[in-house]
Amino acid sequence: MSFQVMISQLGSGMMTTIQIFLLTLIFSLPLGLLVAFGRMSKNAVIRTITKIYISIMRGTPLMLQLLVVYFGPYYIFGVNISSSYRAYAVVIAFAINYAAYFADIYRGGIESMPVGQYEAAKVLGYGKTQTFVKIILPQVIKRILPSVTNEVITLVKDTSLAFSIAYAEMFSQAKALAASQKSMIPFVAAAIFYYVFNYVVAFIMEFFEKKMSYYH
């Protein structure tokens, strides 16, 4: 197999990796905020449920969660699994896993805000929603951005776990090519792809961090 053909096949896997990455962020970031609200809820039932959810997501391997989401419908409900379900299973598993981590990051940022911020907003006539959206949230985003950056960078590497349910992303393609060609070159090429992707993501997140550093 020529080097160009190998890179072409790895490139298709990279596009799948990028798709997993983007869809995970699209779903997990807002879901994480909802879970954070549940974790801080005054309702003991909601607070307990979200606490257990976060504990399970953080306390069990993502690969295991992938397998449960993919095989669960068949083993639990007897529903036949189609090959097209792999893509949905990957996004669902990644989204609910990362939402738990983002939820704790959000919660830490929200709870770190001084009470005086809320009191000042109340004096100015802001409602609870207005206070959160216009005053609290922008400051929370600024505070949590470094922690979110770390999770986003980890997500780039975690996308390789999709191979556990035979989903053809970058690592799966590299593994198959290495086996068929009996060569380490596909792994080296995949490593370069992952490094460049991570570098670009880190660069973009650093750009946003600098933008949010108002007083520097």
Which domains does the chain carry?
A: 3-212 (1.10.3720.10)
For the cut 60, the answer to whether the pLDDT of residue 167 exceeds it is yes
Q: Which of 19, 13, 21, 12 is nearest to 156 (CA)?
A: 21
DSSP element (H, E) containing 162 = none
Q: What is the pTM of this model?
A: 0.87
pLDDT in tens, 110-127: 888 888 878 888 888 888
Quick one: pLDDT band at residue 103, thresholds 50, 70, 90? very high
Q: According to the model, what pLDDT value does residue 35 have?
A: 96
The answer to whether the beta carbons of residues 168 and 7 sit under 8 Å apart is: no
pLDDT in tens, 48-86: 999 999 999 999 999 999 999 999 998 888 888 887 889
**Dihedrals phi, psi of 80, to nearest 5 degrees:** -65, 135
User: Around Cβ 152, how many Cβ atoms within 10 Å?
Assistant: 21
